[in-house]
Structure 1
Amino acid sequence: MYHSAAVGYLYGAAGEKQYSDEVVNSKEVIEFREKISPTVDNDYKSDEAYTKVTLKDGSVHEYHVKHATGSIDNP
């Protein structure tokens, strides 16, 4: 989960390329993974996700996935 979140934010994707040894071991990705603090919210459905990223300058980026790729509602 940590790696997927990091590469999703940094590269805009979490596909096969983002799981290469080069990307997994890159300093940028490692540092970003260490900053991720996941929480569980039982109000969300099992195929739903919400992310909130707060940057050093105080700006906030939020993203809501109503149905994850590969779910029944988003095959």
Structure 2
Amino acid sequence: MAVAAAHLAAARPRLVGITPQGRPYLEAHHVRRVSDGGLDHPRWVIALCPNCHRRVHHGQDGEQYNKRLASQLNEIELS
């Protein structure tokens, strides 16, 4: 996940969350949900900013967005 976080943070540094102590953070998202039988393995986890993480779980386009994230994660893993 560190590789995915580095790629995402480099691409969109303004989208990381900020803790009360002023430190940036990202959230781990499983593109194949563990509750749906997905593996809890770094291959299926991508780092997202808090807004994007909410979007994938609660947004109108969440399912489509998750598919796009899975594709991006695959590209990161192959690089």
Same fold (TM over 0.5): no
Question: Relative contact order (alpha carbons < 8 A, sep ≥ 6): 1 or 2 greater?
Answer: 2
- Structure 1 or 2, whichever has the larger Rg, is 1
TM-score tier, shorter chain, comes to under 0.3
Q: TM (normalized to structure 2)?
A: 0.27
**Bigger helix fraction:** 2
